[in-house]
């Protein structure tokens, strides 16, 4: 198996009829980055930054975060890295965060909502990400966006933070790419409104499925209702794809759907060409792609 991975690692993900596909990795810790390379990822499509916040008693400092992000960027040696801002979930525990108990945490203070309600924490993270962009191609991405006003608020903060970094004489890439996750149906349905504000989009099918079908992704009692290839989910993905493609902006998929053969086939058929998945899935997906004819 190991041998096979090493052989497949450098295989280009191209279908028999010549359709080129980009395969990136989703990673949850800096240690996993080496694995992403070993398994043949062309970039990091999703760095889940939550690893910096869990199992500790206070928020990570800007410098601490900067060191972690820089390590990832440098390890990737010029390959692109998309760092997602803190996506506090419905179920994780952060002893130092005074979260009010919520009856429906997945519909509550989650992702970007938390960041916008905790500006100093958000700014420290944005600064750390921007500083890492001095060491290689970095994109910053915001999770759990439901309305364009959140993005506008976010961009204002990014601009403030850039000015602060300039004053502090800290280096960063002035043109760092900014993107959002499309994982809430309201964002998918109004995708045209977001186009002018950001550089790229990444569809998170795990949450998009959960929120479209009203099925808690972590609730075993309703697991049978969690259908990633449900026509409603595919329809939303198709709408996003149409609008983003026409705009010339970038679109990728970073939910688990991209790692399943039926899923990747459906998504390729819809015209999507960039996928991000767990490193272990990459060799098999590349092999699968190289064996199919899209037509």
Task: Output the known binding site.
Answer: 48, 84, 183, 206-207, 217
Which part of the chain contacts Mg ion (CB under 5 A), choosing from 21-29, 169-177, 181-189, 274-282?
181-189
What is the nearest approach in angstroms of ligand PEP to the Cβ of residue 205? 5
207 binds Mg ion (CB under 5 A): yes
What is the nearest approach in angstroms of Mg ion to the Cβ of residue 89? 8
Distance CA 7, CA 1 (A): 10
Closest CA to 208 of 178, 240, 177, 179: 240
Which part of the chain contacts Mg ion (CB under 5 A), choosing from 33-41, 70-78, 121-129, 177-185?
177-185
Task: Could you list the residues known to form a binding site for Mg(2+), using ranges.
Answer: 183, 207
Which residue intervals of the chain are DSSP H helices? 2-8, 31-38, 62-75, 112-117, 119-132, 148-167, 185-189, 191-194, 205-213, 231-247, 261-269, 282-291
256 binds Mg ion (CB under 5 A): no
150 binds Mg ion (CB under 5 A): no
Q: Which of 32, 50, 150, 183 binds Mg ion (CB under 5 A)?
A: 183
Distances (CA, A) of 247 to 146, 201, 208, 271: 20, 12, 22, 14
Q: Which residue is nearest to Mg ion (CB)?
A: 207
Q: Quick one: how far is CA 283 from the chain centroid?
A: 20
What is the nearest approach in angstroms of Mg ion to the Cβ of residue 56? 22
- Clarify whether 154 is annotated catalytic: no
Say how many CA atoms lie within 13 Å of 234 toward its Cβ. 15
User: Which residues are marked as active site?
Assistant: 254
């Amino acid at each position: 198996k190991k041998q096979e991975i090493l052989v497949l690692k450098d295989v280009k993900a191209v279908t028999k009829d010549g359709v080129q596909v980009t395969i990136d990795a989703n990673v949850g810790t800096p240690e996993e980055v080496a694995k992403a390379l070993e398994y043949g990822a062309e970039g990091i499509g999703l760095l889940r930054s939550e690893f910096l916040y869990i199992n500790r008693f206070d928020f990570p400092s800007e410098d601490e975060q900067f060191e972690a992000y820089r390590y990832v960027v440098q390890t990737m040696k010029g390959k692109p890295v998309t760092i997602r801002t803190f996506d506090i979930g419905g179920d994780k525990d952060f002893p130092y965060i005074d979260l009010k108990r919520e009856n429906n945490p997945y519909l509550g203070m989650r992702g970007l909502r938390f960041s916008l309600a905790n500006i100093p924490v958000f700014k420290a993270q944005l600064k750390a990400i921007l500083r890492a962009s001095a060491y290689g191609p970095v994109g910053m991405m915001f999770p759990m966006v439901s309305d364009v006003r959140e993005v506008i608020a976010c961009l204002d903060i990014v601009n403030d933070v850039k000015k602060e970094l300039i004053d502090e004489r800290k280096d960063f890439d002035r043109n760092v790419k900014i993107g959002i996750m499309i994982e809430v149906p309201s964002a998918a349905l109004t995708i045209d409104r977001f186009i002018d504000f950001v550089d790229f989009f990444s569809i998170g099918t795990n949450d998009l499925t959960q929120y479209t079908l009203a099925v808690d992704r972590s609730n075993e009692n309703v697991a049978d209702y969690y259908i990633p290839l449900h026509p409603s989910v595919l329809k939303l993905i198709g709408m996003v794809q149409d609008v983003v493609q026409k705009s010339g902006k970038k679109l990728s998929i970073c939910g688990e759907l991209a790692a399943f053969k039926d899923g990747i086939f459906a998504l390729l058929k819809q015209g999507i060409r960039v996928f991000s998945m767990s490193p272990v899935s990459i060799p098999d997906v590349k092999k699968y792609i190289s064996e199919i004819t899209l037509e």
